[in-house]
Amino acid sequence: MADNEFLGNVGGRTLSKPPTPGDIFFDKSFRFLTRAFTWATIFLLAFIVYKIGGKALPAFPDLGIKFLFTSVWNSSENVYGILPQIWGTIYSSFLALILGGFFGITIAIFITQDFLPYKVEFALKNIIELLAAIPSVVYGLWGIYVLVPLIRPLANFLHEYLGWIPFFSTRLSGLGLLPAVLVLSIMILPTVAAISQDAFKAIPHKTKEAAFGMGTTRWEAILRVMLPTASGGIFGALVLGFGRALGETMALAMLVGSMSTLTLSFFAPADTIAALLANTFPEANVGLETGALMYAACVLLLITLIVNIAGAVIVTKATPGGDRR
C-alpha cells in the first residue's frame, strides 16, 4: 500500500520518460544556434577588418605608402596625407596616458591599500566608474564651454614666460591639444584605475604583511613591494588605457582644433585620425577622398588592434587567474 502512495495513480507505470523528439530537436537546434553565434563573433571581427581593408584598397595605388608620410589634406586637389593625424593620435594619447595613468594608478593605490574606511572607498570607486559613464560628447561640450576658458589664461601665461620651451611655443587661442589631452586623460583614468585595482587585489595578503613585518612604513611597502609585484598588471592597464585613448573620437573631434599641423606645442591645434574621420567623412567626396578616409580608418584599426591585443595579452599573463576574468 505504501508503495502505491508514492506511485500515486500512475498504476505502476514509471513517471520518467525519454526526451520526446520535440525535446531533442529543441536541444540540437539550441546548441547549434549558440555554436553559430560563437562562430559569428569571430567572423564579425574578421569581416570588419576585411570590409574596411577592402574599401581602402582601391585608394592604395593612388595614395601609396607616402599617404602615411605627407601632411596635406586637400580635397579640391585630391592630395591626401595623414602624417599630422598619426602624430596627433599618438602624441595626444601618450600625453593623456602620462596624466591619466598617474592619476589612475594613484587612485588604485588609494582604493586598494587600506587608506579608507569601506564606505568612502566604495563611494570613491563609484565616482571614478561614473567618470567613464559620461558620454564623450558631453565631455566635449563641457570642454568647449568650461575647460577651455578655464585653462586659457594659464596656458597663455606659460607661453608668455616659458615660450622658449617647444611645448609652450604657441598661444592657446581656443581649441587645441591641451584641452583635448585633459579630457582624454579623464576618460582613460577609470580604465587604468579599474585594471590596476584588479592587479593590486590579486596580490596575496601575506606579501604585504611580510613587508610590514620587516618594519616598512606604509609607503615603503607600497613602493618597494606592492607596486613591483603588481607591475605586470599595471603595465597592461596602461597599454589598454593607451588603446582607449587612440580610438577616442568625439571629445577630440570637438576639442583638438582639427588642423593638419605637426607640432610639439601643447597649445597648438592638432588633429587625430579619429577626429579626421568624424569631421571629414560626412561631407567627403565619393571617390578618392572616401577611399583616403577608409585608408585612414584602416590605419587606425590596425594601430588599435595591435595595442589592444598587446594589452589584453599582458593583463592575462600578469594577473594570476587572469584567464578566468
Interface with other proteins (CB under 8 A), residue from 194, 254, 256, 268 = 254
Interface with other proteins (CB under 8 A), residue from 4, 7, 23, 209 = 23
Which residues inside 124-183 make contact with other proteins, applying CB under 8 A? Answer: 124, 126-131, 133-142, 144-146
Which residues inside 234-253 make contact with other proteins, applying CB under 8 A? Answer: 240, 243-244, 246-250, 253
Select 7 or 40, whichever has its Cβ closest to other proteins. Answer: 40
Select 131 or 203, whichever has its Cβ closest to other proteins. Answer: 131
The size of the interface with other proteins (CB under 8 A), counted in residues, is 86
265 lies in the site for other proteins, by CB under 8 A: no
40 lies in the site for other proteins, by CB under 8 A: yes
Select 33 or 262, whichever has its Cβ closest to other proteins. Answer: 33
Give bridge partners of residue 74 from the DSSP assignment.
79
Cα angle, residue 263 at apex, residues 262 and 265 outer, rounded to 5°? 165
Which residues inside 68-127 make contact with other proteins, applying CB under 8 A? Answer: 102-103, 106-107, 109-110, 115, 124, 126-127
Select 233 or 243, whichever has its Cβ closest to other proteins. Answer: 243
Cα angle, residue 214 at apex, residues 208 and 219 outer, rounded to 5°? 55
Select 90 or 264, whichever has its Cβ closest to other proteins. Answer: 90
Interface with other proteins (CB under 8 A), residue from 4, 7, 10, 24 = 24
Min. distance of Cβ 241 from other proteins in angstroms? 10
Select 46 or 165, whichever has its Cβ closest to other proteins. Answer: 46
Distances from the Cα of 178 to the Cα of 32, 82, 88, 182, 194, angstroms: 52, 21, 12, 6, 25
Min. distance of Cβ 155 from other proteins in angstroms? 18
Select 44 or 165, whichever has its Cβ closest to other proteins. Answer: 44
Which residues inside 211-230 make contact with other proteins, applying CB under 8 A? Answer: 217-220
SS (H, E, C) the chain: CHHHHHHCCCCCCCCCCCCCHHHHHHHHHHHHHHHHHHHHHHHHHHHHHHHHHHHHHHHHHHHCHHHHCCCCEECCCCEECCHHHHHHHHHHHHHHHHHHHHHHHHHHHHHHCCCCCHHHHHHHHHHHHHHHHCCHHHHHHHHHHHHHHHHHHHHHHHHHHHCCCHHHCCCCCCCCHHHHHHHHHHHHHHHHHHHHHHHHHCCCHHHHHHHHHCCCCHHHHHHHHHHHHHHHHHHHHHHHHHHHHHHCCHHHHHHCECCCCCCCCCCCCECCHHHHHHHHHHHCCCCHHHHHHHHHHHHHHHHHHHHHHHHHHHHHHHCCCHHHC
Choices 40-48, 75-83, 154-162, 226-234; region in contact with other proteins by CB under 8 A? 40-48
Site string for other proteins, 273-312 (x = CB under 8 A): -x--xx--xx----------xx--x--xx--xx-xxx-xx
Select 159 or 177, whichever has its Cβ closest to other proteins. Answer: 177
Min. distance of Cβ 189 from other proteins in angstroms? 6
262 lies in the site for other proteins, by CB under 8 A: no
